[in-house]
Amino acid sequence: MIEFMNVEKTYSNGTTALRNINLKIGQGEFVAVIGLSGAGKSTLIRCINRMHEITGGTLIVDDVDVAKLKGGQIRRFRRRIGMIFQSFNLVTRTTVINNVLVSFVPELPLWRKWTGLFTKEQRIKALEALDKVGILVKAFVRVDQLSGGQQQRVALARTLAQSPDIILADEPIASLDPVTSRVVMDDFKNINKAMNISVIMNIHHVDMALEYADRIIGIRKGEVVFDGETSKVTPEILDHIYGGKWAEERASLQESVAEQLPAGGSSLYV
Ligand SMILES: Nc1ncnc2c1ncn2[C@@H]1O[C@H](COP(=O)(O)OP(=O)(O)OP(=O)(O)O)[C@@H](O)[C@H]1O
């Protein structure tokens, strides 16, 4: 369970990114966080693993008061929370399997860290994680020979190998074309359902959010302005979340999708 109680976040330059956030997210939920650029989506999800420190209120993750963690406790806490970024964050000049094995480095004794020796169990776990996202066959291929979608799946496998309870995904499909985006979203959904891992995803593609997430959290100017089941989201609610600019936002999303589709391809947007 993730619980935000009156959470505030003001950056050191005085920008208040989150105001009075109150949320409860249960284990195994698939939540999409949507809103205009600058609304505070990224800040919200990055507070959960303490990439950003909250400046007010209380944030509890599985009975841990996140703001009170210190030093090594933060590292151990983060082991349970996977993070996926738009830019994949992989070492592209080495193999897929090496990128997944990296997730075990914090667990290695010092001598193994120096020699880069992983145990047989760790290698098997890494291969299993690659299998779960359907790219086992690429295990010994260099990452720079993979497509963007395949690279994002490697990032997902690396996260899975650390057996997380929660996956935070910050715009995971923003650099992918619509077809590949679906493949990656399918992976998120399968992992969420089969392994009961909570997924909290910051996402610009509203149609994908509506198709894949169970719950939508709408953020506007740092405040939660909608929180409910995906099936309850209406065009009026989207307009509210997007501050009366839903039509504009939808047009710009349609444009960016059209640019990535082959000529004559249809838009995925309603
Ligand atoms: N490190 C930082 N220092 C100062 N202000 C920041 C920092 N990061 C974000 N902000 C500000 O906090 C507010 C919320 O930003 P955030 O990145 O959380 O929004 P977002 O909804 O994720 O936007 P986008 O969709 O463009 O990524 C914005 O006004 C932004 O300029």
| Residue 34 β-bridge partners | 218
Closest CA to 79 of 109, 97, 53, 105: 105
Residue 172's pLDDT band (cuts 50, 70, 90): very high
* Residue nearest to ligand 1 atom 24, measured at CA: 37
Indicate if ligand 1 lies below 6 Å from the C-beta of 42.
yes
- Compute the half-sphere exposure of residue 131: CA atoms within 13 Å on the CB side of its CA: 6
Report whether 21 contacts 6 (CB < 8 A).
Answer: yes
> Which pTM does this prediction carry?
0.90
Buried (b) or exposed (e) across 56-80, using 16+ Cβ within 10 A?
ebebebeeeebbebeeeeeeebbee
In the DSSP assignment, the letter for residue 13 is T
216: helix, coil or strand? strand
Amino acid at 100: V
> What ipTM was predicted for this assembly?
0.97
- Predicted confidence at residue 218, as pLDDT, reads 97
Indicate if ligand 1 lies below 6 Å from the C-beta of 231.
no
Amino acid at 145: Q
- Predicted confidence at residue 135, as pLDDT, reads 93
Amino acid at 92: T
Indicate if ligand 1 lies below 6 Å from the C-beta of 57.
no
> In whole angstroms, what is the distance from residue 190 CA to residue 41 CA?
23
- Predicted confidence at residue 250, as pLDDT, reads 78
Indicate if ligand 1 lies below 6 Å from the C-beta of 45.
no
Q: At CB < 8 A and 24+ separation, what contacts does 119-126 make? A: 123/97, 125/161, 126/97, 126/100, 126/101, 126/157, 126/161
> In whole angstroms, what is the distance from residue 144 CA to residue 70 CA?
37
155 pLDDT higher than 90 = yes
Mean pLDDT of 197-226: 96
- Predicted confidence at residue 75, as pLDDT, reads 87
Helix or strand run (H / E) with residue 148: helix 148-161
> In whole angstroms, what is the distance from residue 206 CA to residue 34 CA?
7
> In whole angstroms, what is the distance from residue 267 CA to residue 270 CA?
8
Mean pLDDT of 5-33: 97
Quote the percentage of the chain above a pLDDT of 70: 91
Output phi, psi for 161, to 5 deg: -60, -20
Q: What is the pLDDT of residues 69-109, one digit of tens each?
A: 998 899 889 989 999 998 888 989 989 999 999 888 766 66
241 pLDDT higher than 90 = yes
- Per the document, the length of the chain is 270
Mean pLDDT of 236-241: 93
Residue 244's pLDDT band (cuts 50, 70, 90): confident
Pocket test for ligand 1, best of 33, 41, 225, 245 (most atoms within 8 A of CB): 41
